[in-house]
Amino acid sequence: MERQVQPINPILSGIPFLKNLEANNFFLLAGPCVVESEELVFKVANELKRITDILHIPFVFKASYRKTNRSRLDSFTGIGDKEALNILANVKRELCVPIVTDIHTAEEAEIAAEVVDILQIPAFLCRQTDLLVAAANTGKVVNVKKGQFLAPHSMKYVAQKIVDSGNNNVMLTDRGTMFGYNDLIVDYRGITEMKQIGFPVILDVTHSLQQPNQEGGVSGGRPDLIETIARAGVAVGVDGLFIETHPNPSQAKSDGANMLQLDMAEELLRKLIVLRKAVNTIS
């Protein structure tokens, strides 16, 4: 018997890769923090595609082609823009999955847009008007991460800059709020507040567990709490989840301290689907 796909919230249906999203499901943006090598990227992408195909979760592969917000000058920033973007293009072509990557300057928007489907604005840059306008002008979906310093309701002004530039394909992502110097807290009230703005809302599970500015100049993290954060996000009705994952987080060249180990992804996602169905039953 053919599976029946129920209609979804109209604010989600405008995003191309969500057209087949079922009413009781969430979508997933996931992958390694940065393009480290073609072998690593394809290993992660193939496994995530296998899992999400089985579980009928709309999947967007995530990897930054370059990292510019690093703690130290000697931190890994990438293998080279052209090579990294070519790898992302190969993933998109061979696996038929949409791609999301970060951009940091207005000039990068047009370059990245030639390859990817979603341009992601990093949290620290979420109020940079020239960057938001440049991303909007590409016509691509624009995913903006809420600044750690910003109140959830303030994201309506961020989104409005993109809409006023002629692009209604906006997504907003919570990645925690910084109340102290070395830690982040997820205020789940913010998910509800941002959903009221009228765009899909994503919870960045793994970056919410970063512990920035640790001794030694490398961020720490609490990967043991990934399931806790994700379950809470699904329980309050987040539209999508953002999870960085790696076969061996301890060897990752960026953000390894807060990543999900790849072989734990399937079990976690299975649990979250059960939870989402339960939430929908009682809501």
pLDDT in tens, 189-234: 999 999 999 999 999 999 989 877 666 656 677 889 999 999 999 9
Amino acid 11: pLDDT = 66
Residue 44, both tokens: 């992660």
Residues 6+ away with beta carbon under 8 Å from 274: none
For 55-90, write each residue's pLDDT tens digit. 999 999 999 998 776 556 656 666 899 999 999 999
Residue 57, both tokens: 């979760």
- Whole-structure pTM value: 0.90
Amino acid 67: pLDDT = 78
The DSSP secondary-structure symbol of 64 reads B
Select the CATH number that applies to the domain covering 10-267 from these four: 3.20.20.70, 3.40.50.720, 3.40.50.11810, 3.40.50.2000. Answer: 3.20.20.70
Longest dimension (CA), the chain: 57
The domain spans of the chain are 10-267
Amino acid 217: pLDDT = 56
Q: Which residues of the chain have pLDDT under 70?
A: 1-11, 13, 20, 22-24, 69-78, 213-219, 283
Residues 6+ away with beta carbon under 8 Å from 186: 174, 176, 177, 203, 208, 229, 232, 233
Within 13 Å of residue 18, how many CA atoms lie on the same side as its CB? 26
- Report the alpha-carbon distance of residue 195 to residue 214 in Å, rounded: 33
Amino acid 218: pLDDT = 62
